[in-house]
């Protein structure tokens, strides 16, 4: 291939990526609205190109994951993964319709442009090349639902891939990283607490079990653990915040200034680095609150106390750089950009699917979840070039050249 035709080819891929991104942004896939129409659109596209299509719907059928596989089935392959849901776009600061892509100054604006329909559009743009290549290893294009509300779709994909006769050996998650290599992501456990006390005129306070005051005692223990992570670790200097964090995030309770509050609800979260056991830490905290706070409530008035409910949890993504999958593609991967504290499906693929994972995707997380979200054409260009280089690396011709 001449240099000139390579350039034309790259331009063509970028143009295709931009068109696919416009199509994808037009689907309103805010998590609560479902993603089924978009998944059917992508499945039809990849299916027409000859991919093996697997749709993994949720129990309602309104949401689904998609796995489109290209290449042989009997060798360990590569996963390209992204979520198709987006966060709501109700901010008044939007300068254009968030579900109609708009190109201004080399940037494509729209909800999901960088988080993360941009990556999906790039995968679609290079899919004809995947279909045409004589692949030596399979590539699994995986697109999930409900990542933004707690990585709810990805576990089914991870389990599906892990159950294949030859599961994939490496996953690239296309979350926005400015096309840098990200090798770690924090895990999260989000919890809800309900404090049930007793009520009455506040002038008789000593007779009551004040739900807000006991909630405060429980929250003090949550903050104390947060402080301990900050002071004692464990530490991982590759993260911007180099330790786990734990904090209360919402609270509601009480009915009037002169009534002892009977009820108080609050939420809290633990964001864990890969080197720790967040489940054990959370269990220890709940046991501590049970013995030090709830027991005192029940001793005063039987039946009062604190109950806990898990809202969602997803695991941290650990270090992939010492794995065989990583090594196979190491020479093609972009410069290392550290580890991130935001959630991604990488931890799910790694811990539930046993697939070492990294994050590499177009656009910046700084533009995600904000009005006027955009991805630059330059970033989309870098992404299609990167995916194209992976295809060349996996194609039979390149394999013959390497021997």
* CA gap 296, 387 in Å, rounded: 59
By C-beta, is 22 or 113 nearer to Zn ion?
113
Residue of 17, 116, 152, 383 that binds Zn ion (CB under 5 A): 116
Binding residues for Zn ion, rule CB under 5 A, total 3
The distance of closest approach from Cβ of residue 174 to Zn ion in the complex, given in angstroms and rounded to an integer, is 9
Residue 139 pairs with which residues in a beta bridge?
Answer: 70, 78
Q: How far is CA 333 from the centre of its chain?
A: 20
By C-beta, is 340 or 390 nearer to Zn ion?
340
By C-beta, is 175 or 262 nearer to Zn ion?
175
Binding track over 119-158 against Zn ion, x by CB under 5 A? ----------------------------------------
The distance of closest approach from Cβ of residue 95 to Zn ion in the complex, given in angstroms and rounded to an integer, is 22
* Binding window for Zn ion (CB under 5 A); candidates: 69-77, 173-181, 237-245, 283-291: 173-181
* Binding window for Zn ion (CB under 5 A); candidates: 10-18, 111-119, 324-332, 354-362: 111-119
Please state whether beta strands 170-173 and 78-83 pair in parallel, antiparallel, or not at all (unpaired): parallel
* CA gap 79, 68 in Å, rounded: 10
Give the residue from 301, 71, 68, 89 showing the smallest Cα distance to 198: 301
By C-beta, is 77 or 118 nearer to Zn ion?
118
The distance of closest approach from Cβ of residue 124 to Zn ion in the complex, given in angstroms and rounded to an integer, is 17
By C-beta, is 43 or 173 nearer to Zn ion?
173
The distance of closest approach from Cβ of residue 113 to Zn ion in the complex, given in angstroms and rounded to an integer, is 11
Q: Does the N-terminal peptide bond of residue 234 adopt cis geometry, omega within 30 degrees of 0?
A: yes
* Binding window for Zn ion (CB under 5 A); candidates: 90-98, 115-123, 225-233, 307-315: 115-123
By C-beta, is 78 or 113 nearer to Zn ion?
113
Q: Is 360 in the site for Zn ion (CB under 5 A)?
A: no
The distance of closest approach from Cβ of residue 112 to Zn ion in the complex, given in angstroms and rounded to an integer, is 9
Residue of 85, 115, 281, 373 that binds Zn ion (CB under 5 A): 115
By C-beta, is 83 or 243 nearer to Zn ion?
83
The distance of closest approach from Cβ of residue 116 to Zn ion in the complex, given in angstroms and rounded to an integer, is 5
By C-beta, is 84 or 294 nearer to Zn ion?
84
The distance of closest approach from Cβ of residue 147 to Zn ion in the complex, given in angstroms and rounded to an integer, is 6
- Residues near Zn ion (CB under 5 A) are 115-116, 175
């Amino acid at each position: 291939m001449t240099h000139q035709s390579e350039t034309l080819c790259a331009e063509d891929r970028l143009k295709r990526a931009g068109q696919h991104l416009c199509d994808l942004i037009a689907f309103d896939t805010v998590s609560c609205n479902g993603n089924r129409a978009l998944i059917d659109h992508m499945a039809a596209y990849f299916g027409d190109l000859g991919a093996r299509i697997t749709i993994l719907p949720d129990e309602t059928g309104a949401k689904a994951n998609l796995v489109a596989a290209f290449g042989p089935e009997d060798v360990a392959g590569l996963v390209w993964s992204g979520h198709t849901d987006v966060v709501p776009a109700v901010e008044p600061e939007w300068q254009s319709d968030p579900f109609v892509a708009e190109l201004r100054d080399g940037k494509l604006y729209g909800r999901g442009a960088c988080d993360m329909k941009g990556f999906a559009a790039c995968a679609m743009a290079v899919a004809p090349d995947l279909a045409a290549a004589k692949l030596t290893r399979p590539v699994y294009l995986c697109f999930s639902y409900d990542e933004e509300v707690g990585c709810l779709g990805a576990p089914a994909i991870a389990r599906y891939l892990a159950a294949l006769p030859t599961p994939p050996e490496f996953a690239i998650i296309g979350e926005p990283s400015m096309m840098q290599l990200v090798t770690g992501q924090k895990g999260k456990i989000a919890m809800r607490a309900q404090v049930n006390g007793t009520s009455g005129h506040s002038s008789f306070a000593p007779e009551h079990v004040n739900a807000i005051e006991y909630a405060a005692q429980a929250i003090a223990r949550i903050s104390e653990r947060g402080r301990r992570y900050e002071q004692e670790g464990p530490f991982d200097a590759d993260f911007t915040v180099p330790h786990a964090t734990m904090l209360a995030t919402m609270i509601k309770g009480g009915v009037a200034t002169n009534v002892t509050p009977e009820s108080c609800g609050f939420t809290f979260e633990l964001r864990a680095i890969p080197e720790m056991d967040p489940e054990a830490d959370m269990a220890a905290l709940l046991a501590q609150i049970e013995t030090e706070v709830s027991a005192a409530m029940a001793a005063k008035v039987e039946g009062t106390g604190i109950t806990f409910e898990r809202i969602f949890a997803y695991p941290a993504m650990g270090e992939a750089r010492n794995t065989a999958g990583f090594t196979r593609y190491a020479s093609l991967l972009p410069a290392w950009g550290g580890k991130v504290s935001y959630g991604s499906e990488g931890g799910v693929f790694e811990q539930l699917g046993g697939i070492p994972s990294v994050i590499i995707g177009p656009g910046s997380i700084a533009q995600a979840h904000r009005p006027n979200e955009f991805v630059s054409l330059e970033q989309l260009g870098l992404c299609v070039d990167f995916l194209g280089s992976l295809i060349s690396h996996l194609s039979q011709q390149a394999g013959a050249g390497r021997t």
